[in-house]
Structure 1
Amino acid sequence: MKSVTEVNHPLVQHKMTLLRRKETSVLEFRQLLREIGWFLGAEATKDLKLIDEPIETPVTSMVGKKLDGKKVCLISILRAGDGLIQPMLDLIPSARIGVIGLARDEETLMPTKYCFKVPKDLENRVTIVVDPMLATAGSAIFALDEIKKAGAKDIRFISLVSSPEGVKALHDRHPDVPLITAAIDDHLNEAGYIVPGLGDAGDRIFGTKGV
């Protein structure tokens, strides 16, 4: 899998345009995010290992394929990451789920962990970490540090929109983690927002006031 994959399917580009519009409602935003998430999830899982499975169809015998190994683990970076969990579960209903909650220390301005719940056997699972926005990548880097400490070895990171600065920072620190994203935008502004971006993904998912 490539280190960075921008999923530029025509349907993704169309849905991203609708998603970015400031007049898009909370309901529409959630549905579009879910639909785009299916494409991102399919890309992130396209190399999962398969084994043969002999079966009987209503017509004859055949050898099909099924996933090999333990169930995939999905990890949401709270809170906005929860918006990408549902489309991933649509694709992998049996996936295990973990969460990591991060807050910014007002003195150091660095991320701090307030919640971390993941399966105990991450070393045996494909782990997919989700967060809609990869801006400075500070939270993503911190989260991946913690997830690796918990034993994860095969990790993929999904974001909806990424900045060039965030992509570079993520892969400078975690070059072994493939990034799958729907868009790599132009730059970060002085406030740390992705431009053109779509504002605060968490606020738009949960209907709270934001940019």
Structure 2
Amino acid sequence: MILHDFSKENSVLNQFILEMRDVSIQKDSMRFRKNVERIGEILSFEMSKTLNFKTVVVPTPLGNKEMLIPENDLVVCSILRAALPLHNGILNFFDTAENAFISAYRHHPDGGDDFEVIVNYLASPSIEGKILVLTDPMLATGRTLENVLKAFNSHGTPKQINIISIIGAKPGIEYIEKIFPENTHLWIAAVDDELNSSGYIIPGLGDAGDLSFGQKL
């Protein structure tokens, strides 16, 4: 897996991550969603540099101009519900991309820390020969992405997989590195060292879905 870790660079991404982590700022759900969307835009721009490009001729009022534009077929799949603002940020840059949505949640059968990831909904076009972009704002244990990958088995074989996340934990990144194809790209804004006993990122920022859309039962 090819890791693109932007926490090692000085950029405006750091400001957006700070506001998402800060307990005094993250309570503003509209601002939180906007920051998620903006990070999606920045990571999409960086990802665009790795795509294949083709030359087209565009007519202007004063003549013709050759230009390079991306030629790849993208399918953007977001994990409901936390990834929806991230999905919007990606579509702001890849407005012709096809879209897919999948639900995945942690099920705690005995009410303790142990859990399994349940996937019970997937709406997607064929991904055969296309670039699949998976969006998951918090890459914690990696088990959600593992189950999402399995769910796509009946939808074709993608040419390449890109994963766009906001914050990841090192153990989760190491886990998916063993599962995803070697040419998978992970685009991530920040990497934290640890997971707690419940499998949540430390220090992380809390529950991205709840901070964006309110608490759930």
TM-score by length of 2: 0.88
Distance 2:164 2:157 in 1: 16
Q: CA RMSD in A?
A: 1.9
- State the partner residue of 2:124: 118
Distance 1:28 1:103 in 2: 24
Query: Is the CA contact 1:104–1:112 (under 8 Å) kept in the aligned structure 2?
Result: yes
Aligned length: 207
- State the partner residue of 2:15: 14
* Structure 2 residue 203 is matched with structure 1 residue 196: yes
Deviations 1:90-130 (A, max 9, x none): 1111211101112334448322221011102x113211000
Query: Is the CA contact 1:26–1:205 (under 8 Å) kept in the aligned structure 2?
Result: yes
Distance 1:149 1:117 in 2: 12
- Mean CA deviation greater in 108-117 or 90-99: 108-117
Shift of 1:175: 4.1
Distance 1:183 1:69 in 2: 27
Residues 1:15 and 1:69: Cα distance change in structure 2 (over 3 Å): closer
- State the partner residue of 2:169: 163
- Counting only pairs closer than 5 Å after superposition, residues 3-152 of structure 1 correspond to structure 2 as 3-7=2-6, 8-24=9-25, 25-70=28-73, 72-107=74-109, 109-120=115-126, 122-152=127-157
Distance 2:50 2:106 in 1: 35
Shift of 1:41: 1.3
Please, which runs of 5 or more residues in structure 2 have no aligned partner?
none
Runs of 4+ deviating beyond 6 Å: none
Shift of 1:186: 2.0
Shift of 1:149: 4.2
Q: Secondary structure of 2:119's match?
A: strand
Q: Secondary structure of 1:199's match?
A: coil
Please, which runs of 5 or more residues in structure 1 have no aligned partner?
none
Distance 1:64 1:189 in 2: 49
Identity %: 28
Q: Secondary structure of 2:16's match?
A: helix
Distance 2:102 2:24 in 1: 30
TM-score by length of 1: 0.90
Residues 1:9 and 1:152: Cα distance change in structure 2 (over 3 Å): farther
